Amino acid sequence: MLTIYNICQQKGEFAEYFHEMGGILFIYNLSKSSKHLEVKEAALFTLGGLAENSVFCQQVLCRMDVFTYMSHLLMEDCPLTTKRVAVYMVSVLVTCNKSGQIHAKVTGCIDILLDLFRSSFPISSDDMRPAHITQLCQLWTSVSNALCGCVNNPQNEENQLMCMSIFPVAKTWLESFVLPVTEIMQPITSLVGMTVANNPSAQGFFCLDGGLADPGPVPCEVRRGVQSQPSGP
């Protein structure tokens, strides 16, 4: 499958030909039917890679049943690596794709991603292996990226309003850092910034929640996003 992915990366017409011969549908069905997690993950990674590098493949895979399947995987008790590749699949399907953003909302995928954003936050503890913390961090970052794709480029105001629910916990996390931690702060600030961008309702909620009360914890890009809303006529 990875060989197919590499070949289709070279030219877009290869991906179209692969679809015409039933290849994309075959790999998708394989990901659903295989009992082996390694095969399932490889199949989803291949499909995600095809969709990321080909708008044609993205549109082929941008279907309600695909988002429903990804939602099912994200709710299952499965390894973090499986969840991460499912999040990657969602991310490439919503990026620069209004239809994908709508499917993510209708299927409840955004709600699941928001729950993962809160629950997979990588917190170090004595009884947690470093490798597990790393996997959590990778999953959490992928979830943040997927949510960014759900709300921005193109802007989706309904999805922005859904993502406002992360403001309180995001503010708490930002305030807890004594020193900046780039790999943690950047996903938070990117998501908050894209959620408030050009959305007066989201900006107002962020301010009411105390997001701008203390100049310390709120990074400049978020502050600019909230304060840049033009005045009405």
Q: Where are the alpha helices (DSSP H) in the chain?
A: 2-10, 12-20, 23-33, 37-53, 55-61, 64-75, 80-94, 98-106, 109-119, 130-151, 157-163, 167-176, 182-196, 200-208, 220-227
CA distances from 74 to 87, 151, 203, 225 (A): 8, 19, 30, 31
User: Which residue reads 């943040």 in tokens?
Assistant: 144
Round to whole Å and give the CA distance between 191 and 211: 14
pLDDT band at 232 (very low <50, low <70, confident <90, very high): very low
The predicted-structure confidence for 140-189, as pLDDT tens digits, reads as follows 999 999 999 999 999 999 999 999 999 999 988 888 875 567 788 899 99
pLDDT score for 233 = 38
pLDDT score for 121 = 87
pLDDT score for 124 = 54
| pLDDT above 80 (res 49) | yes
Report which of residues 5 and 199 the model is more confident about. 199
The predicted-structure confidence for 133-143, as pLDDT tens digits, reads as follows 888 999 999 99
User: Which residue reads 């936050």 in tokens?
Assistant: 121
Alpha-carbon dihedral 189, 193, 195, 198, rounded to 10 degrees: 180
Lowest mean pLDDT among 40-44, 76-80, 215-219: 215-219
User: Which residue reads 């044609």 in tokens?
Assistant: 56
Report which of residues 124 and 195 the model is more confident about. 195
Which domains, from first to last, does the chain contain?
Answer: 62-227 (1.25.10.10)
Please give the structure tokens belonging to residue 179. 């020193």
For residue 139, count CB atoms less than 10 angstroms from its CB and return exposed for 0-12, middle for 13-18, buried for 19 or more: buried
CA distances from 14 to 4, 25, 49, 135, 202 (A): 9, 15, 13, 33, 43
pLDDT band at 17 (very low <50, low <70, confident <90, very high): confident
Share of the chain above pLDDT 90, in %: 63
pTM summary value: 0.87
SS3 per-residue string spanning 160-174: HHHHHHHHHHHHHHH
